[in-house]
Amino acid sequence: MLLGIKTIIRFNMRVLFVCSGNSDVFAITPFIKNQADSLVEQGVELDFFQIKVKGFAGYLKHVSKLKQHLADNTYDIIHAHYSFSGWVAVLARPVCPIVLSLMGSDTYGSTEGGLIRRIKNMFVATQARVIQLFCKRIIVKSENLFRFVWQKKKAHIIPNGINMDRFKPLDKDACKKDLGLALDHRYLLFVADPNDSRKNYKGASAAVELLNKREGHDFELLCPFPVDNQMLPLYYSSCDALVFPSKAEGSPNAVKEAMACNMPIVATPVGDIEWLFDKTEGLQISSFEPQDMADGLERVIEQSYSNGRKRIVNLGLAADLIAEKLITIYKSLITS
């Protein structure tokens, strides 16, 4: 009987994701959509409320729209993604608990810039601290973000999970054919926005250029951004290694996806990279120096594979397991 009651609570749960919908590239940010899908697969009824403007003032214009949506619909939990979305949820004054996911730059601001940027960063950091007062639970993606949470009794470190059925090793030649890539050509992969200075495409490009000056190496650096999340496994299996020279991260999804495909990776020690990699074969941590990145690429290319998928499994980062952790948090708020 008790088991039956738990099942009823779990599958009658209704959750609203409040998140940005203003991207020119994706209708919903892929990792948020993937998290939603994993919750739905666990039996959660889930809707999206998208904020289709930019800037804090623009977000605030959606408060009245969310109020109206909540007047017309009933939810057990509101889960806001990014701090500005959290403010829309808080100011709409819902009767249900609010869970807030802090992602990274919404917590501490940009890592680069002059005086104006530093002022903006102070605003971002301040609002990210204040909003914690109004949320029942706070989720951060990595240990390095946890230090920005002062309401620590409310906080949980839960990285985004990986769909292990989608992200898995595939036949290289078949993937190259599907993508229209030359079978006799070798590729390295950069999957972020090359115009985002934080992602450091220049560093990746410089490292590959240095690598190609060495005997026996002739690689093309692929940058397919933007790319449909469903297509990414083809790229991970087509290329010889992922180059990830980012300057700041929380828990980078591309790295975990590539790990699940057993792709060799060279990455800078940002976010939770060191925890993700540990001493796993085929995964190399590099400094920000292109020469060091080139050395790392040469090493992992020689190995030609990684044990990243096993590491993802051992860390419990499969999407269904992460969904269960979120559901446990939701249920604790609903039944308290």
Terminus-to-terminus CA distance in the chain, angstroms? 20
- Chain CA centroid to CA 94, Å: 27
- Closest CA relative to residue 263, chosen from 271, 252, 251, 255: 255
* Contact predicate 268/296, CB 8 Å: no
Element (H, E) at 107: helix 105-108
Of the candidates 85, 39, 81, 40, the one whose C-alpha atom is nearest the C-alpha of residue 66 is 85
CB 252 within 8 A of CB 236: no
Q: What is the pLDDT along the chain (336 residues), one digit of tens a residue?
A: 334 343 334 457 999 999 987 555 567 889 999 999 999 999 999 999 999 887 778 888 999 999 999 999 999 999 999 999 999 999 999 999 999 999 877 777 666 666 666 777 788 888 899 999 999 999 999 998 898 899 999 999 999 999 999 999 999 999 999 999 999 999 999 999 999 999 999 999 999 999 999 998 999 999 999 999 999 999 999 999 999 999 989 899 999 999 999 999 999 999 999 999 999 999 999 999 999 999 999 999 998 889 999 999 999 999 999 999 999 999 999 987
Per DSSP (E only), the strands in the chain are: 14-20, 45-51, 77-81, 98-102, 137-140, 155-157, 186-189, 219-222, 241-244, 265-267, 283-285
